Amino acid sequence: MYMVQTKQLTKQYATKRVVQNVNMHVKKGEIYGFLGPNGAGKTTIMKMLLNLIKPSNGEISINEKSILAMDYHYLKNIGSLIEYPLFYEHLTAKHNLQLHCAYMQFSDPSAITQALDLVGLTASTELKVKEFSLGMRQRLAIARAIVTKPTLLILDEPINGLDPIGIKDMRELLLKLKTEQNMTILLSSHILSEIECIADTIGIIANGILIEEVQMKAIKQSAEKTLHIVLDNALEAKPLIEQHFLCKVTYISPTLLHINQFLEATATLNAFLIRHHFAVHQIDVHHSSLEDYFIQLMHGGKQ
Amino acid sequence: MWQLILLDWQKHHLNQSLRSFVICIIVIFSFSIFLGNGGHSFISADDFFTLLTILNNITFMIFSSTLLARIIIREFHQKTIQVLFTYPIARKKLLLSKVVLVYVLTFAMLSISMLTMQLATWFVQGTMDLFPDYYALDDLLRDVPFTFTNACIMAGIALIPLLFGMRKKSTATTITSAVIISFLMNSTISNEHARWSLADTVIIPIMLAILGIGIAYLSFRKINKKDVV
């Protein structure tokens, strides 16, 4: 059921606990987004999943098998990009991928061209990596992560250094990998909007603590909607609306009112206000976004 | 293991080292001939070969440390080791294959270079008269076992700089320690009038080689438990 599961995962350095009792659950075939500010422990958790960093405490299981400090066989099914994209600078893009395949004991000569094509680097295959820009390195690193067609993809800040078109391509590529190859993708970012539009589940992390794991669907459903009304003389309008529509109206400023219910009948409301000679300038339905939700949680976490 | 060694060979462009290797031989040999040119600066054939052996050992022990730096230390310094450790291969096996590669290369360079220079001496001795003795092909063949045991020990000792280099993940430290170790090792030989007597027995050279390899192993003994940051 779960591709990645951790129990009470903790990493403690001499003085600081960088990851504390993290219980995360990544389902098979979903995109799981790690969201948190810089230094929250996202990279450390990902490195622990790859056994690059050994946990001080807790358990990790990948594909239902628990991972010990000395294990390495399970890495065959994982593609990864951690922190900065690292390559052998004096070798060409293609040669770097060939080496990767050889070390992964993966032999499919067409896979390299395919992967380079998927990330849009077909024109630069014979260039040495030292001539690459950060965005190109990032693309190449993703090509390296997916070339062996792993079942689990671990990407740390995959959109770092990409241009807007690159970001869009990446989003489409990840969705494609998820649907066509049924890959489970674990990615991290500190940019909300990026995770918001592709992730199925979001793990919100701050100061090494996993604050909450939520389904994107649930957030979208529970997102609160408010009606914002901009009009003259808000103070007089408030009791009138409350009486007539039997709802709670919040007075924000002399020209702004908020209503939390009663969202469908904006036309009726507008007509009513005009009948009572209020000058209505604007009525709109405001959706609280993931950003509000995130900030709310962050503040909750700090308290 | 063989596969891993081949991959390292390709990855670090070791073909290019062949050229440096040939240049090293030419420089050592011409330098020695230059010293002996015109009059008998060398008392005997042994005297001449002692010089060649010392220069050969020092040169290729330092050469070996540049290989260590290129194949092992730089992977740590440039953090590409982080990528290597995400492969389904035991960390110790990865590093061991690199150490074996350096050992074998150093051994090969030390022995091939020495054999080449002995052969070259045999060729030029007739015309250049470097030392008073007559140098026959039989003398040359007599030296072959010594050349191999010497290469075997020195290649082992040449791995010791790895221990120092790995502490700071520094190329400079690796090469500096190799310079110091190679001079220390070879100055003891030249102080003795006879040529390296330790090499006459078999057990001691093997033990010294194992000591070097053991010290190299110390540098990555705990690698399985270490965090790669």
pLDDT tens across A136-161, in order? 899 999 999 999 999 999 999 888 88
Q: Which H or E element spans position A17?
A: strand A17-22
Quote the pLDDT of residue B103. Answer: 92
Residue A197 has a CB neighbour count (10 Å cut-off) of 12
Q: Which residue has the higher pLDDT, B24 or A107?
A: B24
Q: What is the mean pLDDT of residues B46-52?
A: 82
Cβ partners under 8 Å of residue A46, min gap 6: A34, A80, A82, A154, A156, A186, A188
Quote the pLDDT of residue B190. Answer: 47
The domain spans of chain B are 29-188+195-223
Quick: pLDDT tens for B89-117. Answer: 999 899 999 999 999 999 999 999 999 99
Nearest to A281 by CA among A226, A230, A237: A230
Tell me if B58 sits within 8 A of B110, measured CB to CB. no
Which residues of B fall within a CB distance of 8 Å from A90?
13
B10 at interface of A, judged by CB pairs closer than 8 A: yes
B9 at interface of A, judged by CB pairs closer than 8 A: no
Tell me if A99 sits within 8 A of B13, measured CB to CB. no
Beta strands across the sheet bearing A280-287: A249-253, A256-259, A225-231, A280-287
B225 at interface of A, judged by CB pairs closer than 8 A: yes
Quick: pLDDT tens for B168-226. Answer: 888 999 999 999 888 877 765 544 455 555 445 567 667 777 888 888 888 888 888 88
Nearest-Cα distance to chain B for A209, in Å, is 20
Contact B10 A99 (CB under 8 A): yes
Q: Which H or E element spans position A32?
A: strand A31-35
Nearest-by-CA chain A residue for B9? A99
Tell me if A44 sits within 8 A of A212, measured CB to CB. no
CA B196, CA B55: separation in Å to the nearest integer? 14
Strands A78-81 and A152-156: parallel
Contact B89 A52 (CB under 8 A): no
Nearest-by-CA chain B residue for A105? B88
Quote the pLDDT of residue B64. Answer: 94
Quote the pLDDT of residue B191. Answer: 47
Structure tokens at B219: 């540098």
Give B95-146 as a DSSP string.
Answer: HHHHHHHHHHHHHHHHHHHHHHHHHHHHHHHHHH--SSS---HHHHHHHHHH
Quote the pLDDT of residue B188. Answer: 55
CA B74, CA A238: separation in Å to the nearest integer? 71
Q: What is the mean pLDDT of residues B115-137?
A: 81
Contact B78 A70 (CB under 8 A): no
Structure tokens at B88: 């389904």
Q: Where are the alpha helices (DSSP H) in A87-191?
A: 93-103, 109-118, 134-146, 164-180
Helix, strand, or coil (residue A282): strand
Q: Who among B10, B79, B227 is closest to A53 (CB)?
A: B227
Contact A88 B10 (CB under 8 A): no
Cβ partners under 8 Å of residue B86, min gap 6: A50, A52, A75, A78, A80, A82
Residue ranges in chain A modelled with pLDDT below 70? 222-224, 261-264, 288-291, 298-303
User: Which runs of E-coded beta strand occur in A182-299?
Assistant: 184-189, 201-206, 209-215, 225-231, 249-253, 256-259, 280-287
Q: Which residue has the higher pLDDT, B229 or B215?
A: B215
Nearest-by-CA chain B residue for A84? B79
Nearest-by-CA chain B residue for A96? B11
Residue B27 has a CB neighbour count (10 Å cut-off) of 12
CA B154, CA B185: separation in Å to the nearest integer? 9
Q: Who among B7, B13, B91 is closest to A99 (CB)?
A: B7
Residue A149 has a CB neighbour count (10 Å cut-off) of 16
Quote the pLDDT of residue B199. Answer: 47
Quote the pLDDT of residue B38. Answer: 60
Q: What is the DSSP letter of A92?
A: B
Q: Who among A52, A74, A86 is closest to B227 (CB)?
A: A52
Contact A103 B85 (CB under 8 A): no
- The pLDDT mean for chain B works out to 83
ipTM above 0.85, yes or no: no
Helix, strand, or coil (residue A20): strand
Q: Which residue has the higher pLDDT, B144 or A264?
A: B144
For the cut 60, the answer to whether the pLDDT of residue B126 exceeds it is: yes
Cβ partners under 8 Å of residue A95, min gap 6: A88
Which residues of A fall within a CB distance of 8 Å from B70?
none
Tell me if B50 sits within 8 A of B148, measured CB to CB. no
Q: What is the mean pLDDT of residues B17-24?
A: 92
Quote the pLDDT of residue A303. Answer: 41
Q: What is the mean pLDDT of residues B1-26?
A: 89
Nearest to A137 by CA among A151, A154, A152, A124: A124
Quote the pLDDT of residue B204. Answer: 67
Q: Who among B11, B88, B227 is closest to A72 (CB)?
A: B88
Mutation test of the interface with chain B: which of A19, A48, A67, A72, choosing the one with the most B Cβ atoms within 10 A? A72
Q: Who among B80, B88, B91 is closest to A88 (CB)?
A: B80
B228 at interface of A, judged by CB pairs closer than 8 A: yes
